Amino acid sequence: MINTREIMETIKMIDDQHLDIRTITMGISLLDCIDSSAERACEKIYEKIVRLAKDLVKTGEEISRQYGIPIINKRISVTPISLIAGASDAKDYVCFAKTLDRAAKDTGVNFIGGFSALVHKDFTKGDRILIESIPEALAVTERVCSSVGVATTKSGINMDAVKLMGETIKKTAERTADKESFGCAKLVVFSNAVEDNPFMAGAFHGVGEGDAVINVGVSGPGVVKAALEKVKGKDFGTVADVIKKTAFKITRMGQLVAQEASRRLGVPFGIVDLSLAPTPEIGDSVAYILEEMGLEKCGTHGTTAALALLNDAVKKGGVMASSYVGGLSGAFIPVSEDAGMIAAAECGALTLDKLEAMTCVCSVGLDMIAIPGDTPAETISAIIADEAAIGMINQKTTAVRIIPVVGKGVGEMVEFGGLLGYAPIMPVHEYSSFDFINRGGRIPAPINSLKN
Amino acid sequence: MKAVVTVMGIDRPGIIAKVSTSLFENGVNILDINQTIMQDIFTMVMLVKLGDDTDPAVVLADLDKIGSEIGVDIRMQNEEIFNSMHRI
């Protein structure tokens, strides 16, 4: 029998340190729903999603009860809608978003991702229509998430798409101005987008995936923080070791839940995403882990190094614990979803520039950052371009989920609610990037892609 | 399925009796019991086996009821969670 100490350790992780399965995400291919009639395509999409995912929420809840482990979110990701809708006669794709929203509500999932387009090299007709539909789609739906891939290491950065996404983010903010520009919290711009990410808002079901798949995202910043409290003042070898062991345990639980969900739903297991995903609750923060390492405030000098160690150790510990690892896998640093990040941003320790540096060494990118509502579209595009360049050159996924909150300025607070949290409006550089963004064209692929 | 039942709370007479009676009534077999007082908190860990036709949700609901009656925290978790987390 497992000894009492180990049992109590697990229970303590769940009760006191917010250990949870962040999401069970079912990926569903919609390629067989393509139809020249948008109406018929939407019918097929609704039918397929509801058929495959009807037991997803119930199964998640059953597993949660039987294993005594909270499973916070049950979600769905689908094939990028630009690929499906592109074959149809529709002039805008809001109807597809509404279909996804209806399917999400009827299956009981809280988010559905995949109102997406991959335009890292160029646009198709469908891609353009989809991107033009984003502001309206995110305003009239509740649970639909959207993402657009604008760059990859292999193809460079599509600067026309970067420009368009700056404008799209602005329009989305304006279209949802009555809800603190909340639409932008459901919109991610990617460099090197991954096909099996279970986390929102950037989840979509890639074309390399099968018909359906179960991907699981684990979480547990609080557990890592609690483990580090026991090795105060010890050297970095010890710190890395403690994180690895903790990540191993967290991931094993994710693997177990993923396999169990896969078995019960009769859908193949895809990957476990080894991410440390914070929530706004006290004690569930990535920033506090960095501060536990000895930084007075997250964002001060040393933060990037601390985050690099954390991110790497999480992967090293987690990889052995799961048969298949994928998704984004790393530490997330969403400002509004992390109590420590919020506090650091409020007191001025954490700036946009420091966050950009941090994204060079951790999972994803500039995430859930509120900026002034009057930020020009070109400035947002330039922020995206910088982030895309970091991803492209470093052969990693980077993303921008930034919210220009209409009517608000630096120092004011914005409240998104729930897991999306709240954030202070952070300043952006005031000098213009207008001429840079308006050049258009592509930034060529970097030399590190030419390995063939 | 094998599950781990943990009971935590202020010590008082009859905790083990009540919990084991409830388990017995649901056809749950107790394989091992370990009881200790940790930082003044009564802590009991049981390894139990549920019959194939036993609904874990029913067992859990009954345990929850007893837990609130006698003021202790009772949980039942599939053993696999501990095995996977602490054993390679």
Q: CATH number, domain at B63?
A: 3.30.70.260
pLDDT tens column, A128-187:
999 999 999 999 999 999 999 999 999 999 999 999 999 999 999 999 999 999 999 999
What number is the average pLDDT over the span A413-424?
A: 90
Nearest to A253 among B38, B43, B84 (CB): B84
Task: Quote the ipTM score.
Answer: 0.88
- Which tokens sit at A135? 């502001």
Distance CA B36, CA A8 (A): 12
Vertex A39: Cα angle to A37 and A44 (nearest 5): 95
What number is the average pLDDT over the span A100-128?
A: 97
Task: Provide the angle, in degrees to the nearest 10, between the axes of the packed helices A94-107 and A125-140.
Answer: 50
Q: What is the pLDDT of residue A450?
A: 62
pLDDT level of residue A2 (50, 70, 90 thresholds): confident
Among chain B residues, the shortest Cα distance to A318 is held by B85
Distance CA A334, CA A277 (A): 8
pLDDT tens column, A230-272:
999 999 999 999 999 999 999 999 999 999 999 999 999 999 9
- Which tokens sit at B45? 């860990």
Q: What is the pLDDT of residue B38?
A: 77
pLDDT tens column, A12-58:
888 888 889 999 999 999 999 999 999 999 999 999 999 999 999 99
Angstrom distances, CA of residue B70 to CA of A12, A25, A269, B40: 22, 39, 42, 17
Q: What is the pLDDT of residue B88?
A: 82
Q: Which residues contact A314 (CB under 8 A, 6 or more apart)?
A: A224, A243, A244, A247, A274, A275, A276, A329, A330, A331
Average pLDDT, chain A: 94
pLDDT tens column, B49-86:
998 888 889 999 999 999 999 999 999 999 999 999 88
In this prediction the pTM is: 0.93
A6:B86 CB<8 A: yes
A2:B87 CB<8 A: yes
B80:A67 CB<8 A: yes
pLDDT tens column, A315-327:
999 999 999 999 8
B81:A68 CB<8 A: yes
User: Over the Cα atoms of chain B, what is R_g?
Assistant: 13
Q: What is the pLDDT of residue B53?
A: 87
pLDDT tens column, B9-61:
998 888 999 999 999 999 999 999 998 887 788 899 999 999 888 888 999 99
Strand partners, A442: A158
The Cα of A12 is separated from the nearest Cα of chain B by a number of Å equal to 12
The Cα of B59 is separated from the nearest Cα of chain A by a number of Å equal to 11
Task: Note down the domain range covering B65.
Answer: 2-86
Which domains, from first to last, does chain A contain? 18-191 (3.20.70.20), 218-442 (3.20.70.20)
Q: Most B CBs within 10 Å: which of A2, A244, A245, A250, as the mutation test of the B interface?
A: A2
Q: What is the pLDDT of residue A423?
A: 92
B81:A11 CB<8 A: no
The DSSP bridge pattern shows strands B2-9 and B72-78 to be antiparallel
In the predicted structure, residue A335 carries a pLDDT above the cut 70: yes
Question: Could you tell me what percent of chain A has a pLDDT over 90?
Answer: 88
Q: Structurally, how many domains does chain B consist of?
A: 1
Instruction: Please tell me what DSSP assigns to residue A351.
Output: -
Distance CA A216, CA A197 (A): 9
Question: Could you tell me what percent of chain A has a pLDDT over 70?
Answer: 99
Strand partners, A191: A151, A398
In the predicted structure, residue A1 carries a pLDDT above the cut 80: no
A10:B76 CB<8 A: no
Instruction: Give me the amino acid identity at A395.
Output: Q
What number is the average pLDDT over the span A298-302?
A: 97
B77:A252 CB<8 A: no
Q: What is the pLDDT of residue A451?
A: 64
Q: Most B CBs within 10 Å: which of A10, A15, A20, A61, as the mutation test of the B interface?
A: A10
What number is the average pLDDT over the span A408-435?
A: 93
The strand order across the sheet containing B29-38 reads B29-38, B41-49, B2-9, B72-78
